[in-house]
Chains A and B, each alone.
Chain A
Amino acid sequence: MLSFESMIAWRFLKESRSQTILILLGIIIGVSVQIFLSSLISGLQQNLIEQTVGDSPHILLKAQENSPKSILQKGNQSLIIPVIAAAKKDAYILSYQPILKKLDTYSDLKVVSPLVDGSGFITKAEVSRPVVVKGVFLERADGIYKINQRINTGKAVLGGTGVLIGRSLAEDLKIETGSIIEVRTSGGNSGTYAVNGIFDFENTAINSSWIFMDIYRSQALFELNGAVSRIEMQIEQVFQSESISQKIKNDFPDFLIETWQTNNRQLLSALQSQSASSYMIQFFVLLAVTLGIASVLAIAAVQKSREIGILKAMGTRTNSASRIFLIQGAVLGLSGSILGSLVGVGLIKLFQIASQSGGALSFSIRVEFRTAITLIVISTIASIGAALFPARKAASLVPIEVIRNG
């Protein structure tokens, strides 16, 4: 049922059509610019983050620095040298299986992959190059590194003595699939392996140094006695890393947990200041639009003072008279911002089509439903706020003034 105030408000809006359209246009432009801007920036940021952390672990579980001591205490002479060498870089997780078993039960972890990380030299025909050996369970590591997709020649298989090497390394040392290579560790161990496949990570540093190896073989090579360097994890929502890592920390208080944010502080603060400036722009757009609505509605209130005076003479209460203008503000704000959101979505579609044909856009922009709803709510509240001034004017209007002065 339509209240008396809404009916009058609606009539006033319909009657002063040009003012109504003017205000609506203002809101539509403001909101669509806000939608466009915020979606573009969040699309850019999402894309940047995905590129940065998409194929690297989001959360790491590492041993505390003191754990090598316990290895030393075992008194196993053959272990000491490589472990001390390794300990300069990192400590090892001695018994990772129970941890793995527990982590596998976490529903918010997409991938859990233990890793042996060691350095050495690869030698072929008297030429040697430094390499980083990545000892993995291929099926698990594939979830993070997408190895299968990145194999150029050969097969992504790590059974037996099989290894996978990078494209640059292969070109450099003229290695092909099926070639036999020798890997020598800084600790003096060595092993010979068959190259099963050559991968391309589109990253020269990785392509020229990484070697994927079966985790058990790498443990043997580095004489780790079943230990691993760390456990790498990926999650669905990259920004939930802090809360998930906290959960892991609670379950494994003896270990170090790192998130992708730890290693990407600079990127994050850059993104943050970008967001801040985008909010700033949005705030001023909102302010400009609100002031515009306020001034147009204030003029409308003056123009309608005769009508308001008559309504009051006939018994319209003060609050009721104010509400007529607040309702106008709400109607304008709500409909304008809904239309503005639609226009904003349209703008983004256009932008995507335009830049796709130019080939410039390598990422997708999505309008977040939540962003649109937030903007609609804020704009509606701002419009009601803008209507406060004419509403107060209507409230303070004395009917005899109007009747006396015509």
Chain B
Amino acid sequence: MDNILVSLDSVNKVYGDEVKTQVLFDVSLKIPQGQFLALIGPSGSGKSTLLNILGALDRPSSGTILINQQNLGQLNENQLADFRNKFLGFVFQFHYLLPEFTSIENVLLPYWIGKGKPNRQIFNEAQRLIERVGLANQINKRINLLSGGQQQRVAIARALLNRPQLILADEPTGALDTKSGDQVLDLMQEINGENNTTFIVVTHDRNVALRAERIIELIDGRICKDFFPQEMGEKKSIEILESHACAWDDQSQK
């Protein structure tokens, strides 16, 4: 049996104090170590909300999350910050780099935050990562002088530096053209293969989703579909994606 890295149990999320909107309904989910998972669903279905909870950036209204056997509900704010720094890497749609800093400085930030001034070895590692994402010539360029795709790749290099177990990406290719989107996805899959790093990638792009090992579709805050496209084959997978039936429909029909 695979090693379970992430485990969600009946996670609910309700926003608002006076007008309450429930966004996630009893989401339960187990993600093994090394999986490349695509999270899809219509706009407003709760993908980002779920990703933020997985990323220890937000807390669920109820339910438990275990990442690497650590119950996130038991950590205080500072411990959550440290947890994010050590175990998680983030790649967001709008890349979220610091515009004042160069590529290499941005990549070094997670280390700097967690452990203080980087030594030579860490510096070389950061350099290697930037070369790895194909930006050898942009190492000392300021972030705001890079293209969107280049920035997204810097963000991936940054997410990798502290060797996190889990990388969370919210529409990492959303702002990119198809070609650079593909490059970014290739890169993430290569890293997934090399380091057995677990990826959870939120995407609107069906082609991106089909390249993942596992697809989970959220509809109105519930898991509608959960399947493995590589095992199904492309035709069957597209069929599943296009059908309107959900897992809970089966149950209610019974």
Contacts and interface: CB of A to CB of B under 8 A. Distances in A.
A400 to B, nearest CB: 5
A315 B55 CA distance: 11
A12 B101 CA distance: 10
B58 A1 contact: no
Contacts of B90: 313-314
Contact of A7 (B94, B112, B114): B112
A3 B78 CA distance: 18
Contact of A311 (B48, B57, B113, B116): B113
B77 interface: yes
A317 B82 contact: yes
Interface string A14-38: 1100000000000000000000000
Which one of A11, A313, A315, A403 has the highest number of Cβ atoms from chain B below 10 Å of its Cβ? A315
A315 B92 contact: no
Interface in A316-336: 316-320
Given A1-B116, A2-B117, A316-B113, A404 B81 contact: no
A385 interface: no
B114 A315 contact: yes
B55 to A, nearest CB: 8
Chain B's interface size range is 20 to 34
A313 B116 contact: no
Which one of A1, A7, A403 has the highest number of Cβ atoms from chain B below 10 Å of its Cβ? A403
A318 B85 CA distance: 13
B130 to A, nearest CB: 17
B116 A3 contact: yes
Which one of A2, A4, A313, A400 has the highest number of Cβ atoms from chain B below 10 Å of its Cβ? A313
A7 B101 CA distance: 11
B98 A310 contact: yes
Interface residues of A, number: 27
B92 to A, nearest CB: 6
B148 to A, nearest CB: 14
Interface in B6-57: 48, 52, 55, 57
Contact of A403 (B78, B85, B96, B110): B96
A314 B100 contact: no
Given A11-B100, A307-B98, A403-B92, A4 B110 contact: no
B46 to A, nearest CB: 13
Given A4-B116, A314-B84, A403 B57 contact: yes
A318 B57 contact: no
A306 to B, nearest CB: 8
Nearest to B77: A318
A11 B92 CA distance: 23
A6 B117 CA distance: 11
Which one of A12, A317, A318 has the highest number of Cβ atoms from chain B below 10 Å of its Cβ? A317
Contacts of B116: 1, 3-4
B104 interface: no
Contact of A313 (B77, B84, B101, B117): B84
Given A313-B84, A314-B85, A317-B78, A404 B117 contact: no
A406 interface: yes
Nearest to B85: A315
B109 interface: yes
B77 to A, nearest CB: 6
Given A403-B92, A406-B94, A313 B57 contact: yes
B57 A314 contact: no
B113 A400 contact: no
Contacts of A307: 98, 100
A4 B98 contact: no
A187 interface: no
Contacts of A310: 96-98
Contacts of A318: 77-78, 81
B86 interface: yes
Interface in B115-174: 116-117, 170
Interface string B48-87: 1000100101100000000000000000011001111110
A400 B52 contact: yes
B109 A311 contact: yes
Interface in A348-406: 399-400, 403-404, 406
Contacts of A316: 81, 113
A317 B48 CA distance: 23
A318 B79 CA distance: 11
Interface in A251-276: none
A312 interface: yes
A92 to B, nearest CB: 79
B194 to A, nearest CB: 22
Nearest to A12: B100
B63 to A, nearest CB: 18
Contacts of B94: 406
Given A311-B98, A315-B110, A403-B57, 11 more contacts: A1-B117, A7-B112, A11-B100, A11-B101, A14-B100, A313-B90, A313-B96, A317-B78, A317-B82, A319-B78, A400-B58
28 contacts: A1-B117, A3-B116, A4-B112, A11-B98, A11-B101, A15-B100, A307-B100, A310-B96, A310-B98, A313-B90, A314-B85, A314-B90, A315-B81, A315-B110, A316-B81, A316-B113, A317-B77, A317-B81, A317-B82, A319-B78, A320-B113, A400-B52, A400-B57, A400-B58, A403-B52, A403-B92, A404-B48, A406-B94
The 8 closest A-B pairs by CB, nearest first: A315-B85, A15-B100, A315-B84, A4-B112, A310-B96, A317-B81, A315-B81, A400-B57
Interface of B: 48, 52, 55, 57-58, 77-78, 81-86, 90, 92, 94, 96-98, 100-101, 109-110, 112-114, 116-117, 170
